[in-house]
Amino acid sequence: MALIFVTGNRHKFEEVSEIAENQGLKLEMRELACREVQADELEEIARQSAIDACASLGKPCFVEDAGLFVQALRGFPGPYSSYVFRTIGNKGLLRLMVGVSNRQAEFRSVVAYCKPRGKPRVFTGKVKGSISLETRGTQGFGYDPIFLAKHIGKTFGEMKISRKNKISHRGRSFEKFIKWYLRTH
């Protein structure tokens, strides 16, 4: 039986499916109209979303919430990365960083799994890097073309899914989640 991934983002689903299938786990994408809560911590948002999605479906399922945290911008765009991308985009973010020497940033991903009458389980993944001076690459989605992975010299936009999954925040959170899931189910 396929495990339900509640998301409206096909790019995310494709990335994660590759990780899951390598472990022999099949995923099913499901879009729900649940509202996320506002919070400065991804964990809190994902946890609540998993509870709501599970209540709405009446079945075990998981959600994922991710964000880009830029040090010089006090963590902006952080938990609101998706909204910020839809409005000011990579162009806006690069503009905020013009002349800023501290370009350190971190991508974070939180997977939250919940089953009926159960408490949500949360798995996090992080990857350190920096904001590039201009967009590079056309792969991935969102902030990928401006995020330079540490010690690699390439942006996530210049990597194939399989390469990105090996080092990315999402690859890490899902690896933890899938390992736990396969051990306990």
Mark whether 40 is an active-site residue.
no
- Span near a copy of itself by CB under 8 A; candidates 4-12, 55-63, 74-82, 109-117: 74-82
Joined tokens for residue 67: 């964000």
User: According to the binding rule CB under 8 A, does residue 48 interact with a copy of itself?
Assistant: yes
State the nearest-atom distance from the C-beta of 109 to a copy of itself, in Å.
17
Residue with token string 């904001």 = 131
User: According to the binding rule CB under 8 A, does residue 88 interact with a copy of itself?
Assistant: yes
State the nearest-atom distance from the C-beta of 158 to a copy of itself, in Å.
26
Stretch 98-127 residues interacting with a copy of itself (CB under 8 A): 98
User: According to the binding rule CB under 8 A, does residue 76 interact with a copy of itself?
Assistant: yes
- Span near a copy of itself by CB under 8 A; candidates 19-27, 87-95, 112-120, 152-160: 87-95
Rg (CA), the chain: 16
| Separation between Cα atoms, residue 114 and residue 74, nearest integer Å | 31
Core vs surface per residue 79-112: b (16+ CB within 10 A) or e: bebbebbeeeebeebbeebeeeeebebbbbbbbb
User: According to the binding rule CB under 8 A, does residue 182 interact with a copy of itself?
Assistant: no
Residue with token string 């075990």 = 60
User: According to the binding rule CB under 8 A, does residue 73 interact with a copy of itself?
Assistant: yes
User: According to the binding rule CB under 8 A, does residue 51 interact with a copy of itself?
Assistant: no
State the nearest-atom distance from the C-beta of 63 to a copy of itself, in Å.
13
Please name which of 111, 31, 19 lies closest in space to residue 65, comparing C-alpha atoms. Answer: 111
Q: At what angle do helices 10-22 and 169-184 cross, to 10 degrees?
A: 50
Cβ(180)–Cβ(173) below 8 Å? no
- Of the candidates 9, 17, 18, 36, which one interacts with a copy of itself according to CB under 8 A? 36
DSSP structure class, residue 142: T
Q: Which residues bind a copy of itself (CB under 8 A)?
A: 35-40, 44-45, 48, 73-80, 83-84, 86-88, 92, 95-96, 98
